[in-house]
Amino acid sequence: MQANLAKREPEMLERWVSQDIYGQIQKATAGRPKFWFVDGPPYANGDIHLGHAVNKTLKDMIVKAARLDGYDAAFVPGWDCHGLPIELQVEKKFGKVGPKDEGKIDAKTFREKCREYANEQVARQREGFKRLGVLADWERPYLTMRPSYEAEQLRVLARIIDNGHVVRGFKPVHWCLDCGSSLAEAEVEYQDKTSSAIDVKFAAADAADLAARFGVADATGAAFVIWTTTPWTLPANQAIAANAELDYALVDFANAGRVVIAAELVEATAKRWGDTGQVLATVKGAALEGARAQHPFAGRVVPLVLGEHVTLEAGTGLVHTAPAHGVEDYAVGRHYHLPVDNPVGGNGVFIAGTPLVAGLHVRKAEAPIIEALRERGALVHLATIKHSYPHCWRHKTPLIFRATPQWFISMDKEGLRQGALDAIAKTDWIPDWGESRIHDMIASRPDWCISRQRYWGVPLAIFIDRDTQELHPQAAELLRKIADKVETEGLEAWFGSTPADWGVDAAKYEKGTDTLDVWFDSGVAHQCVFKSMLPEALDADGLAPQADIYLEGSDQHRGWFHSSLLTSVAMRGRSPYKQVLTHGFTVDEQGRKMSKSLGNGIEPQEIMKTLGADVLRLWVASSDYSGEIVLSKTLLQRIAEAYRRIRNTARYLLGSFKDFDPATDLVAPEELVAVDAWAVAQAAALQAELKDAYGRREFHLVYHKLHNYCVNDLGGLYLDILKDRLYTLPKRSAARRSAQTALLHIAEGMVRWIAPILSYTADEIWRMLPGDRTVTVFAQPWYVFPDVPAATVDWAVLKAVREPVKKVLEELRVGGKIGSGLNAEVSLYAEGAPAAALGAVGGELRFWFITSGARIAPVCDKPDDAVAAELGEGQTVYIAAQASPHPKCERCWHQRADVGIDPAHPTLCARCVDNVFGSGESRSFI
């Protein structure tokens, strides 16, 4: 009863480890159909938190449930080990990579320190996951930094190159000034930012040309006005974009002078500027294509171009266009062959020769640019606005778009986008809204930049033509050659090599210096995990099977689900997964995200040290993960109480088997007492429901059905009425063995039902059950319940009457007339089907109500104070109860007229005399 989980679970875990329970499971389930699961890797940094606990527990439940379904389900846990967070931790301790003569750490040593740090973090997190009761191949996890994994990653890249998806581009990417590197889409989060919003004049370079376009006599002094919230990007401006379908007006403003802006925005712009203006003429945006404007300070003339991205949502309807600093700008720039001149270095400092701001950091360039515009009369309006802006998810600092030479996986060159969209449609998404979410992301995403400028990562092991900057024609073949050596010698086989070491002409080709995006690292787990850890799963072409399920938090539609999908489709034309399950994030009772600053966080370690891992697991199972997952200490106490209910039910079951040996005492299904056969049939029906709920990953339904079954069907009914038969009948009597048999069938089912959720408790129960238990519960399939005879009793009627009878008895108890139901006798007045159903069990009816007497009588005999119980369909049973006038049997506590009928045993009822000294009573129904 006192579980003491916090103390006993670690002891059980030690036994699991020492006996290699996971190995036993895999050995016992070998030969079954395969269930393929790929673990999305947590990042190897810091102790596990509540989100980790939810994630790994859900995964463990799914894998354990798959074994119930008869599968061989391996669980190879993994860790994401490369990337910037580990670099930052190592930099804190050893400094940044640089020349040794400056006292800095060299790149090779830096990578070694990163590897050491990652191994330390993996060891810490592994212990936390094991304590949760997650059974996995903890001694052979997959690590993205393991040479076998890194080598297969390069082979995957080779396949993607073979399929024509990798291209080079000089295009803008999200760039973190603090990371000093480009970022993947999944590394970008949007936060509010306050920015300077400026309206800037670009004087018309040819007033006569502009006048002709508007059909006016004179456009002297006219200017195009753009609006921007990124003044620092103006040095890179190469054009002004208009929308061909919008109307544009030549307006004469009282203060701003003669300007061109969108016609529909004239009134709003005048109000914003505090100015008044008169429209002189309007034309469609298409008429402005090719017009020329003078950059306000860069000394160059820029063209008017057309782009569909130009809208009337904000600004002036004319968009400042810097192809080096924006995706849409870059796209329109390619169409018009605009220069992609990036004046910002990787450190965020403007390069030499940049007008106004050379040598300044972009974060300090805004003020001098605005001041220069004001001095030149080009600043029309200055304001500040708060808007959503991309930030680095690690540093929480604003990003910039910066054009750099990068390597991309093209979304459209070889049809990757459409292939991915087709694969999404063939995947089962749980919840179903996940499909539209990732579909929209894939449909609109730009090419995937896979190159990073880091030290700690898998190298983009390519050779680039010094003149054309194109890939070596044998790039894929060389990658496979490099991969083979990396697998045996590690990454330094690449980093410490020269082109000549690979048979490449160094005069013509230079060695790539970038590393691969870490989302590529984890994204190719669908292939690398199997190749490095489960090679027997690969097909004749060396390709891994499609995973049955991927499971991660809801942020991974733009992260791991996303990168896994793209790499798999690019590599082999299909999704890496058949099913994707998404869970929400943990919040407190007020719906607030848990955080240290709010003081509302609850760590999994705290829960396991106080309540135990099984209570934590039960909370995970009870939660509807499709939305935010609520946790509080109050809720945990309720879950702990629910756990005690389930545990107490198991305790009752186990307590019934002390003298029961299934090999000799099991009762055949056709010989079971009717209520026992009914209970077995009910358990079998519940198992079918639980199997369905597990299959649909609806663990909260499993929890509710299990809890309800323990509290109501068992604790509130069946186990309650069995006490008399278990405690008062002869040990070896058929009726008592019938009850024990039914309870064993129920226990065999229940221990399996709870195993995926309450793993420690299930293991504890399993080892206490009678019979051979040498094969662990976690390798067992669903229990096969025996086929029992069809019910001869209408149990639905008996159940319907039982509750109102209990209420009548409770009124007697509250009134002080009885102490318990055994102090009472009940009379039931019924006709027709209810009377037949109640009468069918004869004299055993009292055991159903747990009273000392129960009789059936016609409705016409009911007393005036009889209580009506409506059974539905016009059927009514009337109930009356009274305290029994008979003496109490000291053995069974029933108050019966036949107590003392045997002079030799004056304190026993006739039934007990027979049970103790005779052949024992016979039971047919209850």
pLDDT of amino acid 292: 95
Element spanning 469, H or E: none
- Contacts by 411-418, CB closer than 8 A, 24 or more apart: 411/445, 411/446, 411/447, 411/448, 413/164, 413/165, 413/167, 414/163, 414/164, 414/165, 416/165, 416/566, 416/569, 416/570, 417/442, 417/443
Count Cβ atoms within 10 A of the Cβ of residue 114 and give its class: 0-12 exposed, 13-18 middle, 19 or more buried.
buried
The pLDDT tens digits for 401-442 are 777 788 999 999 999 999 999 999 999 999 999 999 999 999
Whether the Cβ atoms of residue 845 and residue 926 lie closer than 8 Å to each other: yes
76-80, 773-777, 869-873: range with lowest mean pLDDT: 869-873
- 284-307 mean pLDDT: 94
Does 250 score more than 70 pLDDT?
Answer: yes
pLDDT of amino acid 499: 96
Instruction: Indicate the SS3 state at residue 219.
Output: coil
Cα gap 169→407, rounded to integer Å? 6
What distances in angstroms separate CA 911 from CA 161, 555, 727, 893, one per listed residue?
85, 67, 13, 11
Closest of 303, 312, 197 to residue 246, by C-alpha: 312
What distances in angstroms separate CA 827 from CA 77, 841, 874, one per listed residue?
63, 15, 20
What distances in angstroms separate CA 387 from CA 174, 191, 195, 229, 401, one per listed residue?
18, 8, 8, 9, 17
Separation of CA 621 from chain center: 13
Does 42 score more than 60 pLDDT?
Answer: yes
Confidence of residue 2 (pLDDT cuts 50, 70, 90): low
The 8-class DSSP code of residue 743 comes to H
- 110-123 mean pLDDT: 96
Return the structure tokens found at 427. 């995947």
Return the structure tokens found at 622. 């009870």
Cα gap 59→583, rounded to integer Å? 11
pTM as predicted: 0.84
The backbone region for 337, taken as left when phi is positive above 0, alpha when psi lies in -120 to 50, beta otherwise, is left
Does 177 score more than 80 pLDDT?
Answer: no
Cα gap 250→305, rounded to integer Å? 17
Return the structure tokens found at 559. 């992260």
Confidence of residue 598 (pLDDT cuts 50, 70, 90): confident
Confidence of residue 825 (pLDDT cuts 50, 70, 90): very high
Does 907 score more than 70 pLDDT?
Answer: yes
Number of other CB atoms surrounding residue 876 within 10 Å:
14
For the chain, what is the mean pLDDT?
A: 93
Return the structure tokens found at 709. 């079954």
Share of the chain above pLDDT 90, in %: 83
What distances in angstroms separate CA 762 from CA 9, 647, 690, 748, one per listed residue?
12, 10, 16, 10
Cα gap 798→846, rounded to integer Å? 12
Cα gap 491→512, rounded to integer Å? 14
Count Cβ atoms within 10 A of the Cβ of residue 601 and give its class: 0-12 exposed, 13-18 middle, 19 or more buried.
middle
Whether the Cβ atoms of residue 577 and residue 564 lie closer than 8 Å to each other: yes
Does 195 score more than 60 pLDDT?
Answer: yes
Cα gap 345→400, rounded to integer Å? 11
The pLDDT tens digits for 845-889 are 999 999 999 999 999 999 999 999 999 888 999 999 999 999 999
Confidence of residue 72 (pLDDT cuts 50, 70, 90): very high
pLDDT of amino acid 186: 66
**Residues 6+ away with beta carbon under 8 Å from 884:** 823, 824, 825, 852, 853, 895
Whether the Cβ atoms of residue 748 and residue 783 lie closer than 8 Å to each other: yes
Let me know the angle formed at the C-alpha of 286 by 284 and 290, rounded to the nearest 5 degrees.
130
Cα gap 214→728, rounded to integer Å? 106
Does 650 score more than 70 pLDDT?
Answer: yes
pLDDT of amino acid 433: 94
Q: What is the DSSP string of 296-312?
A: TTT--EEEEEE-TT--S
pLDDT of amino acid 597: 67
- 666-680 mean pLDDT: 98
Return the structure tokens found at 95. 């400094």
Cα gap 235→368, rounded to integer Å? 12
Whether the Cβ atoms of residue 607 and residue 635 lie closer than 8 Å to each other: no
User: For helices 560-572 and 525-533, what crossing angle results, to 10°?
Assistant: 80
- 486-507 mean pLDDT: 95
Cα gap 279→257, rounded to integer Å? 12
Whether the Cβ atoms of residue 594 and residue 553 lie closer than 8 Å to each other: no
Does 381 score more than 60 pLDDT?
Answer: yes
Separation of CA 70 from chain center: 25
Does 340 score more than 90 pLDDT?
Answer: no
Number of alpha carbons in the 13 Å side-chain half-sphere of residue 693: 22
Question: b/e string for 754-783 if b means 16 or more Cβ within 10 A?
Answer: bbbbbbbbbbbbbebbbeeeeebbbbbebb
User: For helices 84-94 and 107-131, what crossing angle results, to 10°?
Assistant: 120
The pLDDT tens digits for 458-468 are 999 999 998 88
Whether the Cβ atoms of residue 324 and residue 237 lie closer than 8 Å to each other: no
pLDDT of amino acid 808: 97
Question: b/e string for 170-208 if b means 16 or more Cβ within 10 A?
Answer: ebbbbbbbebebbbbbbbeeeeeeebbbbbbbbbbbebe
Does 558 score more than 80 pLDDT?
Answer: yes
Closest of 228, 212, 218, 223 to residue 253, by C-alpha: 223
pLDDT of amino acid 788: 96
pLDDT of amino acid 362: 87
Cα gap 693→703, rounded to integer Å? 10
